[in-house]
Amino acid sequence: MSGAIESVLNETRVFTPPDDSAARIPDMAHYHALRKRFDDDFTGTWGELARQHIHWHKPFSSVLDDSDAPFFKWFADGEVNMSENCLDRHVHAGLGERTAIIWEGESGEVRHISYAALLADVCRAANAMRQLGIEQGDRVVIYMPMIPEAAVAMLACTRIGATHSVVFGAFSANALRERVMDAGAKLVVTADGGWRRGKVHALKPSVDAALEKGCACVEHVLVVKHGGNDVDWQQGRDVDWRQALNAQPDICQPLAVDAEHPLFILYTSGSTGSPKGIVHATGGYLLWSILTMQWVFDFRSDSDVFWCTADIGWITGHTYSVYGPLACGGTTLMYEGVPTYPDAGRLWKICADHGVTVFYTAPTAIRALIKAGDAWPKKHDLSKLRVLGTVGEPINPEAWMWYHEVIGGGRCPIVDTWWQTETGGHMISPLPFATATKPGSASFPLPGIFAEVVDLEGQAVGKGQGGLLVVTKPWPSMLRGIWGDAERYRDTYWQKFDGRYYFAGDGARKDEDGYFWIMGRVDDVLNVSGHRLGTMEIESALVSHAAVAEAAVVGRPDDIKGEAICAFVILKQQASDDLKSELRAHVALEIGPIAKPDDIRFADNLPKTRSGKIMRRLLRDIAAGREITQDISTLEDHRVIAQLQAKD
Ligand code: WTA
């Protein structure tokens, strides 16, 4: 049974995993055996798993093609269809009546969608897309609230070989336009609006605004009527989703595509430049979404109700709200709305009402709900929960303990999963019924994943040491590149260690027991409420305002968000409080509300070295209100420090 025991090493708490002989990986011996299979026969093991878990139209003969590294190919000559693996094969296995999606709207409306019904809708949507001219290889942007139609749109794309790119619904029209243009999308699927805090947040007007300013590639917009907003229909371009689907037959043969066919593009922030379109391939991604569901969540498709709270606009929503649970033939829950509406008990009420058994969320949500108090979860019956997960940022041990005790009743193992948009699925995580957990540690790499902590020369650090997190061998669900920019892919991820290792951009430490502790980004990427934002993107947004001459953005620790955004701004005009709110609104318009700076500080100058580099470490200390430890003797103008330290 689970219980805290003092570790002799590091004096950290260690929680022994609960016993469950029915678990897929019931103990560490199984974990080590599985790892050993990969050590002994890397490609053979991947090949065997891919044959076992995927329905192939045409079997593959080559498992891994590394002849053009780092452009790796997996199962390249195999042919497969994603939607068929997520839907048809379960219906053919007699599971048509099983619930695929439980959806709850913010107002309390509930829909249960069976596999048979989902398949029929996906076929209609796929036919409708074809009728709008979408063919294999075309890109479709999905800009939707968390409603089942979003999952239908994703699956419909995969049915006909179109590549989707989901854009988070809270991104602005400008951010949407940038992504639509980069992807060269022919179709945008959207809704009139989505519910947030009891109100409808309009989406279609953002699409109109995005397309108005020149997205010549887009031919049609499919609009789901959901929020009751009036829609400004553009003749010839806009099409009503329901009408289009109703006009179509509910049968559409799944198109077999190459395993390497781009399944989707998902934009994410990096340390430089505009967001990059991370490309994922069909076969490898499908395989890893299934295996990680089974290993990391111990997902049981016949009895679990799985709820990942992430929006489909992020990779977590792709892999663990949609593809993973459906590829396994299980039940996934989608909730449209905020976690604290109408009160801070909403998530726990949903868990109780629908009998959620596996719950997956972000530390930022946990911290916000801790603040709301224990009374909320205590009101609801959480006894069905059996596995809890976290993702997106390091979880502080206090939040881990609360999650474990108050939500998990001290009974549920916690899987702290480290991964990235680029990795497609989990990489480092405890296995719920095998790994002894330490609050705040993602523990060990999964079987098949060769992760290491290395120094700047690429040498593995010893136990108890920190360094950079790398992956030393390719894996099936790895990104295949950055859309339209092969060189940037090579430079960003592979150049640091001369093509030998995938560089994740995170720092990590390995403790005396070999547990991995993720320390956070080592580049200029912020992690705000579990969302990635590049400091440069926010700086560019600020500088695009007429009043701003120069801007530097850094993160500072924040109790709830993990990291808050602090902007140091040099103005071309007189400072004022109004200007601060104007700049915040401007960033929301350029990127989206999640990128709004929490602090804006005006100064005459930014601290720079004599060679002209912004002293970011100094700015981080100032933002956090820490003592300045950096040597500032090279700083040209010492007065700026006092200015920058002055708060609102
Ligand atoms: C961070 C989200 C600590 C990390 C799936 C990574 C984490 C970035 C964890 C990727 C974790 C994710 N512990 N840090 N369990 N999970 N991160 O692409 O900095 O939105 O590089 O993917 O989030 O964010 P992304």
Which range has the worst mean pLDDT, 11-20, 121-130, 193-202, 262-271?
Answer: 11-20
**Dihedral sign for Cα atoms in the order 128, 131, 134, 136:** positive
For residues 610-624, give the mean pLDDT: 87
Q: Which ligand 1 atom sits nearest the alpha carbon of residue 504? A: 21
Query: If you write DSSP's letter for every residue of 403-427 in order, what string do you get?
Result: IIIIITTTTS-EEEEB--GGGSS--
pLDDT digits (tens, 9 = 90+) for 149-191: 999 999 999 999 999 999 999 999 999 999 999 999 999 999 9
Task: Using CA atoms of 180, 185, 186, 192 in order, give the dihedral in degrees to the nearest 10.
Answer: -50
Scanning 298-427, the segments in alpha helix (DSSP H) are 315-317, 324-327, 346-354, 363-372, 375-378, 397-402
pLDDT at 433 over 70: yes
CA-derived radius of gyration, the chain = 24
Report how far ligand 1's centroid is from the alpha carbon of 549 (Å): 33
Looking at ligand 1, which residue's alpha carbon is closest to its atom 23? 392
Report how far ligand 1's centroid is from the alpha carbon of 441 (Å): 13
**pLDDT for res 3:** 32
pLDDT at 570 over 60: yes
CA–CA distance, 33 with 198 (Å, rounded to integer) = 51
Q: Which ligand 1 atom sits nearest the alpha carbon of residue 525? A: 19
For residues 92-113, give the mean pLDDT: 98
- How far from 293 is each of 83, 90, 358, 419, CA to CA, in Å? 17, 16, 10, 14
CB-CB contact of 391 with 530 (8 Å): yes
Looking at ligand 1, which residue's alpha carbon is closest to its atom 7? 393
pLDDT at 217 over 60: yes
Report how far ligand 1's centroid is from the alpha carbon of 79 (Å): 31
The preferred substitution site among 429, 443, 532, 533 for testing ligand 1, maximizing ligand atoms within 8 Å of CB, is: 532
Report how far ligand 1's centroid is from the alpha carbon of 147 (Å): 25
- How far from 426 is each of 133, 236, 414, CA to CA, in Å? 36, 43, 14
Instruction: Supply angle C-alpha 208, 214, 220, rounded to 5.
Output: 55
For residues 432-453, give the mean pLDDT: 97
Looking at ligand 1, which residue's alpha carbon is closest to its atom 15? 418
**Which of these, 164, 179, 137, 172, lies nearest to 267 by C-alpha position?**
179
DSSP lists the bridge partners of residue 614 as: 608
Q: Which ligand 1 atom sits nearest the alpha carbon of residue 316? A: 5
**Which of these, 53, 630, 72, lies nearest to 287 by C-alpha position?**
53
**pLDDT for res 317:** 98
CB-CB contact of 156 with 125 (8 Å): yes
Report how far ligand 1's centroid is from the alpha carbon of 237 (Å): 38
CB-CB contact of 273 with 536 (8 Å): yes
The preferred substitution site among 360, 366, 393 for testing ligand 1, maximizing ligand atoms within 8 Å of CB, is: 393
pLDDT-based confidence at residue 613 (cuts at 50, 70, 90): confident
Looking at ligand 1, which residue's alpha carbon is closest to its atom 25? 420
Query: If you write DSSP's letter for every residue of 54-119 in order, what string do you get?
Result: --EEE--S-SEE-TTTTS-EESTT-EE-HHIIIIIHHIIIIITTSEEEEEE-TTS-EEEEEHHHHH
**Dihedral sign for Cα atoms in the order 266, 198, 364, 326:** negative
Looking at ligand 1, which residue's alpha carbon is closest to its atom 14? 393
pLDDT digits (tens, 9 = 90+) for 250-302: 999 999 999 999 999 999 998 877 899 999 999 999 999 999 999 999 999 99
Q: Which ligand 1 atom sits nearest the alpha carbon of residue 395? A: 13
CA–CA distance, 349 with 351 (Å, rounded to integer) = 5
CB-CB contact of 305 with 357 (8 Å): yes
Report how far ligand 1's centroid is from the alpha carbon of 467 (Å): 16
Report how far ligand 1's centroid is from the alpha carbon of 530 (Å): 7
Instruction: Supply angle C-alpha 526, 508, 321, rounded to 5.
Output: 60
Which range has the worst mean pLDDT, 51-65, 457-471, 606-620?
Answer: 606-620
User: Using DSSP, how many helices (H) and how many strands (E) does the chain show?
Assistant: 21, 33
Report how far ligand 1's centroid is from the alpha carbon of 277 (Å): 17
Report how far ligand 1's centroid is from the alpha carbon of 438 (Å): 18
Which range has the worst mean pLDDT, 63-67, 315-319, 466-470, 641-645?
Answer: 641-645
**pLDDT for res 496:** 96
Report how far ligand 1's centroid is from the alpha carbon of 562 (Å): 12
Question: What share of the chain has pLDDT > 90, as a percent?
Answer: 90
Looking at ligand 1, which residue's alpha carbon is closest to its atom 13? 394
The preferred substitution site among 269, 477, 522, 527 for testing ligand 1, maximizing ligand atoms within 8 Å of CB, is: 527
Q: In Å, how far from its chain's centre is CA 25?
A: 25
| Burial of 124 per CB tally in 10 Å (0-12, 13-18, 19+) | buried
Q: Which ligand 1 atom sits nearest the alpha carbon of residue 416? A: 15
**Average pLDDT of the chain?**
94
**pLDDT for res 639:** 75
pLDDT digits (tens, 9 = 90+) for 326-380: 999 999 999 999 999 999 999 999 999 999 999 999 999 999 999 999 999 999 9
Kindly report the pTM of this predicted structure: 0.94
pLDDT at 648 over 80: no
Report how far ligand 1's centroid is from the alpha carbon of 317 (Å): 13
Q: Which ligand 1 atom sits nearest the alpha carbon of residue 314? A: 20
Looking at ligand 1, which residue's alpha carbon is closest to its atom 5? 420
Looking at ligand 1, which residue's alpha carbon is closest to its atom 10? 420
pLDDT-based confidence at residue 636 (cuts at 50, 70, 90): low
Report how far ligand 1's centroid is from the alpha carbon of 143 (Å): 23
CB-CB contact of 523 with 506 (8 Å): no
Which range has the worst mean pLDDT, 186-195, 207-216, 486-495, 584-593?
Answer: 207-216
Q: Which ligand 1 atom sits nearest the alpha carbon of residue 531? A: 20
pLDDT at 644 over 70: yes
Report how far ligand 1's centroid is from the alpha carbon of 420 (Å): 5
Looking at ligand 1, which residue's alpha carbon is closest to its atom 6? 420
Looking at ligand 1, which residue's alpha carbon is closest to its atom 24? 420
**pLDDT for res 280:** 98
Q: Which ligand 1 atom sits nearest the alpha carbon of residue 521? A: 19
Report how far ligand 1's centroid is from the alpha carbon of 426 (Å): 10
- The two structure tokens encoding residue 351: 């868990």
Report how far ligand 1's centroid is from the alpha carbon of 425 (Å): 11
| Cis bond before residue 70 (omega within 30° of 0) | yes
Looking at ligand 1, which residue's alpha carbon is closest to its atom 8? 420
Report how far ligand 1's centroid is from the alpha carbon of 419 (Å): 5
CA–CA distance, 388 with 432 (Å, rounded to integer) = 9
**pLDDT for res 646:** 76
CB-based contacts of 448, cutoff 8 Å, min separation 6:
34, 35, 38, 45, 46, 291, 475
For residues 541-557, give the mean pLDDT: 95
Report how far ligand 1's centroid is from the alpha carbon of 505 (Å): 10
Q: Which ligand 1 atom sits nearest the alpha carbon of residue 420? A: 22
**Which of these, 579, 568, 633, 631, lies nearest to 604 by C-alpha position?**
568
Residue ranges around ligand 1 (CB below 6 Å):
268, 314-316, 391-394, 416-421, 442, 504-506, 518, 520-521, 527, 532
